[in-house]
Amino acid sequence: MMNDIDEIVNKFQEQGYKITPQRRGIFEILVGNESHPKAEDIYDALKDKMPDVSLATVYNTLNTLKELGMVNVLSIIEDNSIRYDPTTEVHDHLFCLGCNRIFDVERDANERDFPQKEIPGFQLIDRTQVTYYGYCPDCQKMRKADK
Ligand SMILES: [Zn+2]
Ligand SMILES: [Zn+2]
């Protein structure tokens, strides 16, 4: 979970990583970010104010954050993308097939009705995440307007 910059900086420093302005810029983009950005999105957001940042730096920093358990990585088959999620608590996702945006779903883990009878003997762990597919309200409006 990435709540504030200082927490991330401390964790990086504890592990012996240097805090460069580029890394700090990446942290700033991720804190409180609910858009599930791709590495390219982070790079695009950063490169205007930091022309010396490279996509490789963004990837390296994201990998380190992943190793430290501060971001979750989502692999999206529909648009063949890897997304980064600074909200690491278990939660479900809605994927919009129209605009490829991902939205968080808050749902109590106890309320999940997993079809246990259909996979007898399979042991679930508490990191189960579900992705639902559909169209967001914006895309539904556009689809109606197209008709
Ligand atoms: Zn949409
Ligand atoms: Zn999420």
Last residue of a domain, one of 33, 49, 76: 76
User: Distance, CA 66 to ligand 1 centroid (Å)?
Assistant: 27
Query: Does the residue 129 lie in any domain?
Result: yes
C-alpha of residue 144 to centroid of ligand 1, in Å: 13
Question: In sequence order, what DSSP letters do the residues of the chain get, joined into one string?
Answer: ----HHHHHHHHHHTT----HHHHHHHHHHTT--S---HHHHHHHHHTT-TT--HHHHHHHHHHHHHTTSSEEEEETTTTEEEEES--S--EEEEETTT--EEEE---GGG----GGGSTTPPP-TT---EEEE--HHHHHHHHHH-
- pLDDT recorded at residue 2: 66
Q: Which ligand is nearest to the CA of 91?
A: 2
So what's the pLDDT on residue 122? 79
Residue 61 pLDDT more than 90? yes
Separation of CA 61 and ligand 2 centre (Å): 19
Whole-model pTM above 0.75? yes
71 and 26 in a common domain = yes
Please tell me the distance between residue 103's alpha carbon and the centre of ligand 1 in angstroms.
Answer: 10
* Domain boundary residue, one of 26, 46, 76: 76
Percent of the chain with pLDDT over 90: 65
pLDDT in tens, 38-55: 999 999 999 988 999 999
Question: What total of structural domains would you count in the chain?
Answer: 2
The CATH number of whichever domain residue 23 belongs to comes to: 1.10.10.10
Instruction: Kindly state whether residues 36 and 95 are assigned to the same domain.
Output: no
In a domain? residue 83 = no
- Asked if residue 127 has pLDDT above 70, the reply is no
Per the domain annotation, does 82 fall within a domain?
A: no
